[in-house]
Amino acid sequence: MSIHSDPDASESQLYSDLPAPLHLPPSELLEHYEPNVLAPLVRCSKLPFRHLTSLYETHITHTPMMLAEEFSRAQIARVSDFSTSSEERGVYWMTPSSGSSSKGNGKGKEAVRVNHPDDDCSSHSADELITYYRPPSNTKDRLPPSPTAPNRDSVLVRGNLIAQFASPNAKSLADAAELISPYVDGIDLNCGCPQRWAYNEGIGCALLRKPELVRDMVRGVRQRMGWGWSVSIKIRIDPDQKQTETLIRNALSAGISYLSIHGRTRHQPSTDPVNLEGIKFAVETVKGEVPCTGNGDIWSYEDVVTMREKTGVKGVMAARGLLANPALFCNYPSTPSHAVSQFISLSTSYGLIFPFSTAAIDWLESRGLDWRKDRSTIWDARRGRGVLSTV
Residue 193 is a catalytic residue: yes
Torsion angles phi and psi, residue 259, rounded to 5: -130, 135
- What CA–CA distances, in Å, run from 246 to 173, 187, 261, 265, 388? 22, 22, 14, 16, 51
Q: Counting Cβ atoms within 10 Å, is residue 175 exposed (0-12), middle (13-18) or buried (19+)?
A: buried
In this structure, the dihedral spanned by the alpha carbons of residues 66, 61, 260 and 175, taken in order and rounded to 10 degrees, is 40
Calpha distance 203→206 (Å, rounded)? 5
Query: What is the sign of the dihedral through the CA atoms of 185, 189, 194 and 197?
Result: positive
Question: What residues does 386 pair with on adjacent strands?
Answer: 379
pTM as predicted: 0.87
Report how many helices (DSSP H) and strands (DSSP E) the chain contains, helices first: 14, 15
Task: Specify the DSSP element, H or E, that contains 193.
Answer: none
Can you give the pLDDT at residue 305? 96
Is the CB of residue 78 less than 8 Å from the CB of residue 129? yes
Which candidate, 202, 195, 134, places its Cα nearest to that of 167? 202
Is the CB of residue 292 less than 8 Å from the CB of residue 258? yes
Is the CB of residue 238 less than 8 Å from the CB of residue 247? yes
Calpha distance 354→364 (Å, rounded)? 15
Q: How many CB atoms are located within 10 Å of the residue 168 CB?
A: 19
Calpha distance 69→389 (Å, rounded)? 43
Can you give the pLDDT at residue 123? 41
Can you give the pLDDT at residue 275? 97
Task: Print pLDDT tens along the chain (391 aa).
Answer: 455 555 555 666 677 778 889 999 999 999 999 999 999 998 889 999 999 999 999 999 999 999 999 999 988 889 889 999 988 999 999 999 876 654 444 334 434 443 444 444 434 443 456 777 776 654 556 888 888 888 999 999 999 999 999 999 999 999 999 999 999 999 999 999 999 999 999 999 999 999 999 999 999 999 999 999 999 999 999 999 999 999 999 999 999 999 999 999 999 998 999 999 999 999 999 999 999 999 999 999 999 999 999 999 999 999 999 999 999 999 999 998 888 888 888 887 887 655 556 676 777 777 777 666 545 444 455 444 444 333 3
Calpha distance 195→203 (Å, rounded)? 10
- Structural domains of the chain ordered from first start: 22-386 (3.20.20.70)
* Residue in 191, 193, 205, 330 annotated catalytic: 193
Which residues touch 349 (CB under 8 Å, ≥6 apart)? 48, 375
